[in-house]
Amino acid sequence: MSSKQNSCFNVATQLTRLGRDPGEQHGFVNAPLYKGSTVIYQTMDDLEHRRSRFTYGTAGTPTIANLENAWTQLAGAAGTVLSPSGLGAVTLSLFSTTKSGDHILMPDSVYRPTRNFCNGMLARYGVTTTYYDPMIGSGIEALVQPNTSTIFLEAPGSQTLEVQDVPAIVAVARQHGIKTIIDNTWATPIFFRAHDHGVDVSVEAGTKYLGGHSDLLLGLVSANAESWPALRATYDAMAMLPGADDCVLALRGMRTLHMRLKEAERRGLDMASWLQARPEVSRVLHPAFESCPGHEFWKRDFTGSSGLFSIVLKPGYTREGLARMLDHMAVFGMGFSWGGYESLIIPFDCAQYRTATSWKPEGLALRLQIGLEDIDDLKHDLDQGFARLK
């Protein structure tokens, strides 16, 4: 079904139809899995002129194209490329908008591996990075340099969940001819349509909610018409593509993405409200809560919230107590990533690597991913944990 035909449906319906065509699949509901490297040409002339929809495995397969096309329509983009991980998607996007001698602006709340890539790989290639307060809004104009090529955003921010004023920053970027990239993993295009807000390139870790089952690593990068040629050229030069099996898992995850996100939103809000009332908790960092920096921007620009948020404990608790709490959780696991069916909890402290802002919370901080377990079991597990904390 064409993009125009699909666009007349609401998003939940679109997700059941994107990236497949039973009419071309002998009536089967799901598209077949294509795995391979070599593409056979019928004539020498076809071979010499690369006259084929798919020229070689690194240029894509029907399976990869199904996911690319589906995500392009969902994100409202001109095109999408894939990578084997969310970080791979970040690096692809930055390589597509920078060259040696450029300067980029990066929020201080950005995903730490993205920061490491800027401070390491990009710096080696002569790209300099200035970190900025994620709440700077239109004030970011004061940080623009003559060689600034890219402003990166992440809304909400990693771990501390600050929601940026995306339209204000995009307006400054457009005024100066600067490209904008956003890491939109937390909201996905379901809750925030980045390209509709003027962002040039949108990055998604499909590892999280698109996969939904903690069993694949995947990145997606979508771009508007202006930025699409450079992004595709960068992708073609690097051939950093995922395996076809992972694309099938992602397409399967897409069918239930809306339903799972809405349930993650419901559960996340329930758990965050319960935690806000706990005597051990000082504040909740959840974009839907007024205590979260940038809540007003979330309320204005986003259509929902997912199941990842953080809390800051009241002063006085120790790391030893925290270890007693976390080491013996019965339901919550300790592990990185999120967006899967299992609930996760990790401590964090970004004071050591933030450079544009100071992270000085009043107490210890925890990030929680709310999964699909019974809510009462999750609350009981935390209640027991808080008892050990004391």
Q: Domain of 175: which CATH number?
A: 3.40.640.10
Count of helix runs (H) and strand runs (E) in the chain? 15, 11
Residues 360 and 284 in one domain: yes
Q: Which of 240, 255, 270 is the last residue of a domain?
A: 255
Q: Say if CB 343 and CB 373 are below 8 A apart.
A: yes
| pLDDT of res. 295 | 98
Closest CA to 340 of 252, 260, 251, 247: 260
Residues 146 and 241 in one domain: yes
pLDDT band at 39 (very low <50, low <70, confident <90, very high): confident
- Whether pLDDT at 193 is above 70: yes
Tokens of 111: 């995903």
Residues 224 and 296 in one domain: no
Chain segment 95-112, per-residue pLDDT in tens: 999 999 999 999 999 999
Residues 360 and 334 in one domain: yes
Report how far Cα 126 is from the mean position of its chain's Cα atoms. Answer: 26
Chain segment 4-16, per-residue pLDDT in tens: 667 778 887 887 7
Q: Say if CB 110 and CB 158 are below 8 A apart.
A: yes
Q: Write the burial class of residue 143 (CB in 10 Å: 0-12 exposed, 13-18 middle, 19+ buried).
A: middle
Tokens of 350: 């970004």
pTM over 0.85: yes
List phi, psi (to 5°) of 172.
-65, -45
Residues 263 and 222 in one domain: no
User: What residues pair up with 347 in beta bridges, in sequence order?
Assistant: 366
Distance of alpha carbon 277 from alpha carbon 273, whole angstroms: 7
Average pLDDT over residues 128-149: 98
Contacts of 178 (CB under 8 A, 6+ apart): 144, 148, 149, 150, 151, 172
Q: Say if CB 145 and CB 132 are below 8 A apart.
A: no
Residues 152 and 241 in one domain: yes
Residues 195 and 327 in one domain: no
